[in-house]
Structure 1
Amino acid sequence: MPTRPPSSNAHSRGVLLVFAATVAWSASGIYARLLTTDAWTAIAWRSLFAAIFLIVPMVLFGGAGTRRQWKTTFAPAGLALIACQTISQAAFIGAYYTTSVANVAVIYATAPFIAAVLGWLILKEPIAWRAMAAGLVCLAGVAIIISASWGAGRLVGDLLALLMTVTFAVVIVVPRLDPELPAMPPIFVSALLAFLLFAPFSSAGSLDAHNLTVLAAFGATNFSIALVLFIIGARRLPPAESALIGTTEIVMTPVWVWLLFSEQPPAATLIGGSVILAAVLWYTISELRRSHERR
């Protein structure tokens, strides 16, 4: 039986909500540049605020779960998810402190293709030729960015961005190993774990009103507001269309920082980022066309 297409009003609301979520996610670079704390403090306290604000969508969407769901959270697959999510979030903030926002944004855009390779290696899932081609092009773009950072003091940050991307790709794949694994409890636990791990190294003296406000807003928008907007909006859209809207984050994240802080992306990032953006756009548009044809 064919799936009933969503109404035009529902579709329009879905587009607006997913785009609003993308805008909220793209503000991460702004928060990182507004902070005057060290990276350890930023990781710890942003994670704590993320856990606090994640309680709202957990309750709203039933993510708080049952006792069985929490038990599943601490099963091997859940522990792997928690570990990778913790590493990903720590590397995410660390990368912002050690390389340009543009580098972090464009390297992160390769996560879906790394996840496709991991799915092939771990789950033996076939990779569509479009995904393979787009992934290879993205790899070339990342190579351009990292090679230019070798002598420019950004190499550690680029490698942290790559670590963030690889571990997040694992986060995408792990739930497919265990369909019973709940979505939100592992994220909540990973946020608390990051706080507990990095709080001992944080500088309490730098947590003035300004930094606490920025960290609270950072945790709220990335873990609560954006998540709620995306979940509600994505229900009204085909997955490929949600992904296509999400690609605008690649452009918006460095643009906000360039406009507000005059942080101009390096030339190699513009070249490599253009290569990655073109590959992502080509892949998502082709997937969107295929989904329309199937319907």
Structure 2
Amino acid sequence: MGSAVAWSMAGFFTRLIHLDTWTMLVWRGLFGALGIAAVALTIEGRDACRDFLRLGRAGCLYAVLSAGGMVLFIASLRHTTVAHVAVIYATVPFFAAALGWIVLRDIPSRSAVVASIAALIGVIVMVGLGHDGGLSGDMLALGMTAGMAGMMVLARRFGDMPALAAAALSALLSGLVCWPFAQPLALNGADLFLLALFGLVNSATGLALFTLGARLLPPVETALIGALDAPLAPLWVWLAFAEVPSSGTILGGLIVFCAVAAHLGLAARRTSR
């Protein structure tokens, strides 16, 4: 849940930082990688350096999927509407459930499936479902969604994968991939400070917590909790910039929150029994 809170701050930071998207992503990735590496060194000492050497194919694939997903996400926003991207990403619990069943033989619970459907409905209510999107952008968003589901399954399947090393490499790759399209040196001290906060809060904290948490939960549950990103994002913008969300956004957000809370409550009850 902590990763969903951290990732939902992206809209807040993009409103604060008046730079092009590619430049923001470069520094978000670089500062995120530095932040995760610093945490790993603090916790594990010299062992953190060895973790990069034992990432293996799974860790490298995880980092590539994460970095690629970020690039696909930005590209999709340039070719279709934000509403379409949000709705397509809300299908990630179904991708995660399907991949989890194929790879891990992990059959999702009935409450997880029902909650995923309810969360998808909530996101559709939040953003609407117009016909002004583009097919190429929708396909890019679909690829990003499938990549996120793959990350969840990888983290669950390879529980011994060095989580922080994989997250640091992922953040670094996302920054380097965006470098050719950005103007990374065209900024001032204030911008650099805000970009550092963006990278440390949104990238480092979000990616590290996601990678650690995804090892402990079935993929569909990881994806379902991640759906809280959608209703939390407008909340921070409302608190910081007094942008009152529409009634549809509020209603859809409540549906998502209730769906996730109900599923977590049922799961906790089953565990206690």
Q: TM-score range by the shorter chain?
A: 0.7 to 0.9
The structure 2 residue matched to 1:219, chosen from 190, 194, 199, is: 199
Contact 2:155 2:211 in 1 (8 A): no
Alignment of 1:267-286 (within 5 A): 268-286=248-266
Whether 1:187 aligns to 2:167 is yes
- The answer for the alignment partner of 1:4 in structure 2 is none
1-side partners of 2:93 and 2:174: how far apart? 24
Contact 1:57 1:228 in 2 (8 A): no
User: Compared with structure 1, are the counterparts of its residues 225 and 253 closer, same or farther at alpha carbon in structure 2 (3 Å cutoff)?
Assistant: same
The structure 1 residue matched to 2:102, chosen from 102, 105, 121, is: 121
Whether 1:139 aligns to 2:120 is yes
The structure 2 residue matched to 1:28, chosen from 2, 7, 10, is: 10
User: Compared with structure 1, are the counterparts of its residues 126 and 176 closer, same or farther at alpha carbon in structure 2 (3 Å cutoff)?
Assistant: same
The structure 2 residue matched to 1:56, chosen from 38, 42, 65, is: 38
State the shift of 1:221 in Å: 1.5
Contact 2:67 2:170 in 1 (8 A): yes
Please list the CA deviations of residues 196-233 of structure 1 after superposition, one character each: whole Å capped at 9, or x if unmatched. 2111110246422232121110111134456789999x
Q: What is the DSSP-based 3-state SS (H/G/I as helix, E as strand, rest coil) of the residue aligned with 2:129?
A: helix
The structure 1 residue matched to 2:177, chosen from 186, 197, 203, is: 197
User: Compared with structure 1, are the counterparts of its residues 66 and 118 closer, same or farther at alpha carbon in structure 2 (3 Å cutoff)?
Assistant: same
State the shift of 1:44 in Å: 1.1
Q: What is the DSSP-based 3-state SS (H/G/I as helix, E as strand, rest coil) of the residue aligned with 1:148?
A: coil
Contact 1:45 1:195 in 2 (8 A): yes
Whether 1:42 aligns to 2:24 is yes
State the shift of 1:266 in Å: 5.2
Q: What is the DSSP-based 3-state SS (H/G/I as helix, E as strand, rest coil) of the residue aligned with 2:44?
A: coil
Q: Whose radius of gyration is greater, 1 or 2?
A: 1
State the shift of 1:267 in Å: 5.2
Contact 1:91 1:160 in 2 (8 A): yes
Q: What is the DSSP-based 3-state SS (H/G/I as helix, E as strand, rest coil) of the residue aligned with 1:185?
A: helix
1-side partners of 2:193 and 2:171: how far apart? 18
CA RMSD across the alignment: 4.2
Contact 1:146 1:155 in 2 (8 A): no
2-side partners of 1:204 and 1:247: how far apart? 31
State the shift of 1:64 in Å: 6.7
State the shift of 1:111 in Å: 4.6
Contact 2:167 2:207 in 1 (8 A): no
2-side partners of 1:49 and 1:140: how far apart? 35
Contact 1:109 1:276 in 2 (8 A): no
Q: TM-score, normalised by structure 2?
A: 0.74
Contact 1:99 1:156 in 2 (8 A): no
User: Compared with structure 1, are the counterparts of its residues 37 and 67 closer, same or farther at alpha carbon in structure 2 (3 Å cutoff)?
Assistant: closer
- The answer for the alignment partner of 2:267 in structure 1 is 287
- The answer for the alignment partner of 1:88 in structure 2 is 69
Contact 1:65 1:185 in 2 (8 A): no
Contact 2:33 2:171 in 1 (8 A): yes
State the shift of 1:54 in Å: 1.2
Q: How many residues align?
A: 267
2-side partners of 1:99 and 1:65: how far apart? 44
- The answer for the alignment partner of 1:73 in structure 2 is 55
1-side partners of 2:194 and 2:129: how far apart? 31
State the shift of 1:47 in Å: 0.4
| Structure 2 unaligned residues grouped into runs of 5+ | none
2-side partners of 1:162 and 1:116: how far apart? 15
Structure 2 counterpart of 1:119, which letter? G
User: Compared with structure 1, are the counterparts of its residues 146 and 114 closer, same or farther at alpha carbon in structure 2 (3 Å cutoff)?
Assistant: farther
| Structure 1 unaligned residues grouped into runs of 5+ | 1-17
2-side partners of 1:104 and 1:253: how far apart? 14
Please list the CA deviations of residues 33-81 of structure 1 after superposition, one character each: whole Å capped at 9, or x if unmatched. 1121111111111101111111121113328746764344242x22321
Structure 1 counterpart of 2:59, which letter? G
Moved more, 197-206 or 110-119: 110-119
Q: TM-score, normalised by structure 1?
A: 0.70
